[in-house]
Structure 1
């Protein structure tokens, strides 16, 4: 105050710029707890402290901690309890909601970032359904998720977007969005056989092949198999994908179809006969990669992590809230060892592509 007014308390001089008018108290939540600050009040001169911004009630480090707690899977109620235990004051749900909105701006920037990992030979896609409370009625909202293995062999989260349902239009829009952000060099897309998936792949990525997830394929066959025979049928199906060539796998599949028919499992036999070819695309790629490109397990693990967090929330007020929380978890996982550890040796694919070009 003396520096700003250029006068000590009660001093009168020609250089004086303003007058003291007492002070007011400001509460500030810090990482060490609540503190009360005395802020000078001046007349005839404006004053803002450089220590805390106008209207700020918390240190930025406290706000960052609150956001990280929520995005890490801590419920709003638990965040309230934790803040009271750590800093002596409870942060209200409305305050947390405002902070989360700030975080969502950064998450949206990350979601729409340009893809700069070079070429992405292997892409995995899936849809995860979450509950939305719309006017008191609950309905499902689909969040479409894509990850990839880049040309250096590392996993990368490509992105997520809201789709009203897993139909062709949703997948085409999703794939076009990814392509527009720089998704290139795709050789194989792995996913479940949902409505329109195969057509969408052919339309947006005509240069890529489609691999139907073998795990989802098995589940589809099990859905028409008596429970007492599921273990036996599972063993039969796994034997198909244990073969060392596509030709051998096709021959084994024919034998399995006949065996299922002899067991009076006609519907299961039909599903195997109609769908087996889509599950054998991986055989066209290096055998060293087979176990990691014939299933969607790599993305299913991410989905489990997402569900662990979304279970805390229960239902969402709208689709964008669901999308933002999913993206927050994806961004978090991408920054861990999951995204920093090499997943595949891509030299095997490079050699196979070079041999194919020479043969061509």
Structure 2
């Protein structure tokens, strides 16, 4: 394996890399990189690849052991290779500890961001004064894809998902020498232990009925059964796809989006009473009370100038906005909006903005998938649950 000798100011490089907003969500990918480097170092030490027979071999493999390793952005657990004579020692715990992982952070950031092998190789040469083979850099990239793909394609028939949140965000991708917008479909499910899982990710050309239907079909192919409730915004294509894909499933329109839509069509002054009634309606606990408040709103504001459009939209979207009230009261706060999924999207967006333009669709899927996979592990840890209370508490 090529020996790396950092020749530049490590502190300065570290500062520049950390300011690039590379997050600890890359920890799992960093583990892959470090493990790969140690594996190649053992091959070099033994002077033989795995299962290779030759007279130059100096020792034999003897499995692995796990070791915690504290880096500047947190602790990771590495799988350290061993040899029979015990004389092999990987350089990770010496050289890379002293350099604060500056080189590996630079390489990993470029690899995860989907930068071409040629550019990565050139950057590494500039940083270290050494050449790294294209095959080595490619092998790091190839190790990231199976991890993300396995997570994104895992079976969904081992859990029942009663509630599913769906949302889309847009990114920029280079395609055929042009920069185009792509829609990223994300689905979040609540399983039968009341814990959240990110159950779907897909990068598509645009947000449309066909795109959403295809996305839902991919979830069903992995074993997703029709949920009780799908929570989303009111994108027309998404609404139609939910109805077509999930027979017997109710749709909950995000009440935050619904309120914004209503308030866009009322006077800015003197509308406090209308706003208060709408908020009380959408924060209600029963369909009966919501219908009573709806009647009060129409009794007070029907025929009042400036409220015509808002009342029309309230009438059209009312039933879809109160479907959460048919679920256990303890779940209402979590089921009435898409806030928790939008929070995840915002976290992805914060990191995605560092890249700005993905070099290709696969690089976008790789990075967003890695971010989502890592974020999922932080959701509802231990005995914590997303939904509180018993399902029978109506």
* TM-score normalised by structure 1 residue count: 0.71
SS in 2 for 1:28: coil
Partners of 1:203 and 1:255 in 2: CA distance: 34
Aligned to 1:297: 339
Aligned to 1:344: 387
Aligned-residue offset at 1:343: 1.0
Q: Per-residue CA shift, 1:169-225, capped at 9, x if unaligned? A: 112111111112122361111111112323322222212211011111122224444
Please identify, of 215-224 and 144-153, the stretch whose mean Cα deviation from structure 2 is larger. Answer: 215-224
Aligned to 1:307: 349
Partners of 1:239 and 1:264 in 2: CA distance: 21
SS in 2 for 1:348: coil
Q: Which runs of 5+ in 1 are unaligned?
A: 1-25, 353-360
Q: How has the CA–CA distance of structure 1 residues 74 and 181 changed in structure 2, closer, same or farther, with 3 Å as cutoff? A: closer
Structure showing greater Rg:
1
SS in 2 for 1:183: coil
Name the count of aligned residue pairs: 312
Aligned to 1:122: 163
Partners of 1:72 and 1:237 in 2: CA distance: 49
Alignment check: 8 A CA contact 2:201 2:369 kept? yes
Aligned to 1:145: 186
Partners of 2:111 and 2:303 in 1: CA distance: 50
Matches within 5 A, 1:103-252: 103-115=144-156, 117-184=158-225, 186-225=227-266, 234-252=275-293
Q: How has the CA–CA distance of structure 1 residues 163 and 286 changed in structure 2, closer, same or farther, with 3 Å as cutoff? A: same
Q: How has the CA–CA distance of structure 1 residues 130 and 244 changed in structure 2, closer, same or farther, with 3 Å as cutoff? A: same
Q: Which runs of 5+ in 2 are unaligned?
A: 6-33, 48-53, 62-80, 82-89
Aligned to 1:334: 376
Q: How has the CA–CA distance of structure 1 residues 60 and 331 changed in structure 2, closer, same or farther, with 3 Å as cutoff? A: farther
Partners of 1:190 and 1:303 in 2: CA distance: 15
Q: Per-residue CA shift, 1:72-130, capped at 9, x if unaligned? A: 99998xx99xx99xx966898x8767633430221011110112552111111111111
Aligned to 2:301: 259
Q: How has the CA–CA distance of structure 1 residues 330 and 269 changed in structure 2, closer, same or farther, with 3 Å as cutoff? A: same
Partners of 2:110 and 2:374 in 1: CA distance: 9
Aligned-residue offset at 1:227: 5.4
Partners of 1:88 and 1:135 in 2: CA distance: 33
The question of 1:47 aligning with 2:48 is answered no
Aligned to 2:3: 28
Partners of 2:56 and 2:199 in 1: CA distance: 48
SS in 2 for 1:250: helix
Alignment check: 8 A CA contact 2:46 2:60 kept? no
* TM-score normalised by structure 2 residue count: 0.66
SS in 1 for 2:359: coil
Alignment check: 8 A CA contact 2:267 2:306 kept? no
> RMSD in angstroms over aligned alpha carbons?
4.3
SS in 1 for 2:236: coil
SS in 2 for 1:249: helix
SS in 2 for 1:325: helix
